A and B are shown apart, each in its own frame.
Chain A
Amino acid sequence: MVSRSFPQLLTCFNRTAVGSAGCRRFSITPPGRATPQSNTAVERVTSPWTLMAAVCLQRLPVITADCSPIEQRFKQMMQQMELEKSLLSDHELRLMEDAERMSRKQGNEYDSDEEEGHGDQEIMLAQDLEDTWEQRFKSFQPAPRVRADLDKDLTSVQRCLADSLVLLAEQQVGAEKLWLLPQAAWQEGETLRQTAERALCSVTAAGFKATFLGNAPCGVYKYKLPKAARTESSVGTKVFFFKAILADSAPGTAPNTALLWVKKSELQKYLKPAYMMKVDRFILSL
């Protein structure tokens, strides 16, 4: 897997998001990082924003999506063209040879000594092989692609196997309970990514295995507290989002928080509009 050998700091970097308008500028200066050889006291750079990290945990699609009508027609046409342009395979050649040999056997002038050494092929004809394969195929039962009951159950991770799902948790923010991507407050001495990992662990059961895609956040959302709650040291909160992919989900009981697995189209029903706008930008609906 990709190596993860980075220093704790994310240095200031500019990045133009490909395909979307505008630059994003990140600048994170964690306060109170003491220099080793300091005689003078280090000035603590305290910003009035509280930092939080959230994790955007995605479950990738398990099966391919169904083709639209045009795609189906095109697929059939391409398959027909390829079939017509293709050459006969070994198995089909054998079928033809066997049929020919059969017809020669029925005929009067048949001399088995004249046949070349195809001894074992006479025992097991290609047609017989095809019949055994046909039998085995009939006895195979594939699992159903779409299960309507599971699709409706929003808490199940097996729903909507053809789409990618995002995990939402109901967390206490300030005075109210909101649906949002699982988040946790940043603490001194840890990277934002570790904060995101902690957020995931606190919200899900112990057996969840998620692979984080990198140390760089993929989005940010900031909000200012209402004027009444603002103080000198806290003007608002900045939430940084990290992407992760679900590797393994344990069917364990979730602790206190309620969890939902939603598709991108269903996110709007649960998230606040301003939050939704920022989150919408980095969730790919492919």
Chain B
Amino acid sequence: MKQMVSATDTAYGTLNVKVSGYDMTVVEHYSQYIHNLCNRLGIQVAESYALPTKSTEVMLMQEQGNKMYVDAVLKTHERVVQLSSLNTSLCPIFVDVLLKNQPEGVQLLVKEHTEADFQTRFKARPELEGLIAQINQ
């Protein structure tokens, strides 16, 4: 995996800007906007990727009866723009512009990149895990 940049005195290290929401076009357009803004401001963008879509089923109780029925299926889409280093002097302005341009229905999260974040991108491999468990037994 790409080297994670660590924080120095004047710049933050590898940061993940996560954009998530139910409406895929809005989420994708907002993440594209963030990427273009970083290019224009001279912030180095390490990667820009998507995380798997999560489906949430909304279940409601029936009026007469105890059974729950499926009311709606909501899909949460997530896009990540990874910045390799952000100058601290530029940080308040950058975050302010992002917040002021945030569309409705979209959540913005800025956090540091960790090893665990990197591992969530991979799919689980059940056969491999089964074999490893067998070896360990």
**Chain A: residues with CB nearer than 8 A to chain B?**
1-3, 5-7, 11, 13, 15, 18, 58, 60-61, 63-64, 164, 213-216, 218, 242-243, 245, 282, 284, 286
Contact B91 A213 (CB under 8 A): yes
Contact A218 B100 (CB under 8 A): no
Size of chain B's interface in residues, with CB distance under 8 A?
A: 24
Interface hit among B5-13, B28-36, B48-56, B125-133:
B5-13
Within 22-77 of B, Cβ neighbours of A (below 8 Å) are at: 41
Cβ 8 A contact of B89, one of A1, A7, A13: A13
What residues on B are CB-neighbors of A284 within 8 Å? Answer: 96-97, 100
Does B93 have its Cβ within 8 Å of any Cβ on chain A?
Answer: yes
Classify the secondary structure of A's interface with B: loop
Contact B10 A13 (CB under 8 A): yes
Min CB gap A109→B, angstroms? 35
Contacts A6-B9, A284-B96; A216 near B91 (Cβ below 8 A): yes
Min CB gap B90→A, angstroms? 8
Cβ 8 A contact of A218, one of B9, B93, B111: B93
Contact A15 B89 (CB under 8 A): yes
Of listed A7, A242, A243, residue having the most chain B CB within 10 A: A243
Min CB gap A59→B, angstroms? 11
Contact B100 A214 (CB under 8 A): no
Within 99-115 of B, Cβ neighbours of A (below 8 Å) are at: 99-104, 110-112
Contacts A60-B100, A284-B97; A243 near B9 (Cβ below 8 A): no
Contact A286 B97 (CB under 8 A): yes
22 A-B residue pairs with CB within 8 Å: A2-B15, A3-B12, A6-B9, A6-B88, A11-B10, A13-B89, A15-B90, A18-B41, A18-B93, A58-B96, A61-B100, A164-B100, A213-B96, A214-B92, A214-B95, A216-B88, A216-B89, A216-B91, A282-B93, A284-B96, A286-B100, A286-B101
What residues on B are CB-neighbors of A3 within 8 Å? Answer: 7, 12, 112
What residues on A are CB-neighbors of B101 within 8 Å? Answer: 286
Contacts A1-B110, A2-B112; A218 near B10 (Cβ below 8 A): no
